Amino acid sequence: MRKLLIALFWAPLLASVQVFAAGADLHLDKAPDRGRDYAALQNGAKVFVNYCLNCHSASYMRYNRLTDIGLTEQQIKDNLLFTQDKVGELMTIAMRRAEAKQWFGAPPPDLTVIARARSTAAYSGADWLYTYLRGFYRDDGRPTGWNNTVFANVGMPHALWELQGEQVMGKDHRLTLAKPGLLQPAEYDAMVADLVGFLNYIGEPVQNFRKHLGVVVLIALAILFVFAYALKREYWRDIH
């Protein structure tokens, strides 16, 4: 029993050490914060719908929640709905999971909470996604012709290759741009930052409101503390 208790005590600590060790070996670039930039989030929504929503769903997110980032329902219908879906419906895809598994080997994951799912104690999911989407390079040894610096032997092809171009891995294990894409490297990085910001947003659409409410609550508690302390002084004035 004593050995069991010791093992139960040390297991979480050893797991934390392993997580930090894995995070130390993985070099990630810092993702720009787009949380309060509605124009960037709107652009990220456009990129997501045009390049990601064909294979990846966001089935816990409704189109009309995009009004939270400054879009009107009419703008959503005109720019982000390309099927007969209604603005109040979920951001799903027509592809069936069984067919996707047959075509790709595994069904593409739902991306609603991908930023939160990729977060660990060592790094944020936004940093992981930002580095991942910029880390594709040509690899003729892979079935898709692509590999990734963050996700080795990834099964996903580079859906944004026309925009970024084609990168190759050098002998020094550094990426170089062999064939330019439609966007300049800085433009592509900015677009990826917008997309990652949107993926981070749909994982918790109320995040900005939650943070704002937290500040308001702390201010209210600080004011309440002043009155409570003054009341305490008044009650205990004759004793102290």
Domain chopping of the chain, boundaries: 2-231
Q: Is the pLDDT of residue 133 over 90?
A: yes
Which pLDDT band, with edges at 50, 70 and 90, does 191 fall under? very high
Round the average pLDDT of the chain to a whole number and report it: 86
In this prediction, residues 41-67 reach a mean pLDDT of: 94
Phi, psi of 236 (to 5 degrees): -100, 15
- pTM of the prediction? 0.81
Tokens in use for 62? 């409704």
Specify the pLDDT at position 83: 72
Specify the pLDDT at position 25: 66
In this prediction, residues 28-54 reach a mean pLDDT of: 94
Which pLDDT band, with edges at 50, 70 and 90, does 17 fall under? very low
Tokens in use for 109? 């994951």
How deeply is 224 buried, as exposed, middle or buried, from its count of CB atoms within 10 A (0-12, 13-18, 19+)? exposed
Q: Is the pLDDT of residue 148 over 50?
A: yes
Q: Is the pLDDT of residue 82 over 90?
A: no
Specify the pLDDT at position 234: 85
Q: Is the pLDDT of residue 103 over 90?
A: no
Is residue 74 a contact partner of residue 42, using CB atoms and an 8 Å limit? no
Architecture of domain 2-231: Orthogonal Bundle (1.10)
How deeply is 71 buried, as exposed, middle or buried, from its count of CB atoms within 10 A (0-12, 13-18, 19+)? buried
